[in-house]
């Protein structure tokens, strides 16, 4: 089925409007708010601090733990049951993996860095928004990172390749493929790649190039959010 026009009027390679802010939770070691379209993610960092329980300590490197959750009335469908579920655990794991190569965990032996990602409002792309928020929060907490990470979902809606799918596009009756991607800011490495749906190899390569362009735009917004917090007011 041909998909000729996006519901919100965007071009097929255009991301939704983005807002980002660092240091939104004063009691945290680092925090951020990231909004893309109608999807909102808050990320909070605690640590580095001593690992507990103690049997999980690693004398050679620290541990990054991610705790992702959607609020009960955040989605466009039915109420979400609070507490961990299989989807939340899976997103927590892939988010931690996305940061595994850019964070210098060897500087924090026997320690843990906890990242809490909360989604109060969702219109698709929640794991990507969470990753983008977490990168700002980790930088705000002063955690050494080799580079930042931006994340966006690309995919195929009907017969069109598109960037930053919203919920209506994910649920398109003509069929859709949703591909969350995370890209490092300097080396342009793919640190997350998942796929729900089918695309050809050629289409995937084209979508990854589109994701790199979009993540570079996200990275500029991330950097501005951090600069805005730490800018010296004259």
Q: Residue 185, Cα to own-chain centre: how many angstroms?
A: 13
205 in a structural domain = yes
**Neighbouring-strand partners of residue 33:** 21, 42
Locate all alpha helices (DSSP H) within 70-149, ordered by sequence.
86-99, 126-140
pLDDT, residue 7, reads 87
113 in a structural domain = yes
What CATH number does residue 94 fall under?
3.30.230.70
198 in a structural domain = yes
202 in a structural domain = yes
pLDDT, residue 1, reads 63
11 in a structural domain = no
pLDDT reading at 234 higher than 60: no
Per DSSP (E only), the strands in the chain are: 18-22, 30-36, 39-50, 63-70, 111-121, 149-157, 160-163, 176-184, 190-193
10 in a structural domain = no
6 in a structural domain = no
pLDDT, residue 172, reads 92
Instruction: Please state, in angstroms and rounded to a whole number, the distance separating the CA atoms of residues 138 and 39.
Output: 20
* Domain count of the fold of the chain: 1
pLDDT digits (tens, 9 = 90+) for 51-87: 888 888 889 899 999 999 998 776 665 566 666 789 9
Domain coverage including residue 215: 18-228
30 in a structural domain = yes
User: Quick check: 119 and 41 in contact, CB under 8 A?
Assistant: yes
Give the DSSP letter of residue 141: T
pTM here?
0.93
């Amino acid at each position: 089925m041909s998909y000729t026009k996006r519901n919100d009027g965007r071009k097929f390679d255009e991301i939704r409007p983005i807002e980002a802010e660092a240091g939104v939770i004063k009691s945290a070691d680092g925090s951020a708010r990231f909004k893309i379209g109608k999807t909102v993610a808050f990320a909070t960092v605690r640590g580095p601090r001593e690992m507990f329980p103690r049997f999980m300590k690693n004398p050679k490197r620290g541990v990054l733990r991610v705790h992702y959750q959607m609020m009960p009335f955040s989605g466009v469908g039915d109420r979400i049951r609070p507490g961990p579920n299989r989807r939340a655990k899976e997103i927590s794991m892939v988010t931690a993996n996305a940061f595994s190569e850019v964070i210098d965990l060897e500087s924090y032996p026997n320690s843990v860095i906890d990242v809490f990602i909360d989604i109060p409002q969702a219109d698709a792309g929640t794991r990507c928004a969470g990753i983008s928020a977490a990168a700002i929060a980790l930088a705000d907490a002063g955690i050494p990172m080799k580079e930042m990470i931006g994340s966006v979902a690309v995919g195929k809606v009907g017969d069109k390749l598109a960037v930053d799918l919203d919920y209506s596009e994910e649920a398109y009756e003509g069929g859709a493929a949703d591909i969350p991607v995370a890209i490092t800011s300097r080396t342009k490495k793919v640190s997350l790649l998942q796929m729900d749906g089918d695309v050809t190899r050629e289409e995937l390569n084209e979508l990854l190039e589109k994701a790199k362009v979009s993540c570079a735009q996200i990275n500029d917004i991330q950097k501005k959010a951090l600069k805005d917090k730490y800018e010296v007011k004259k």
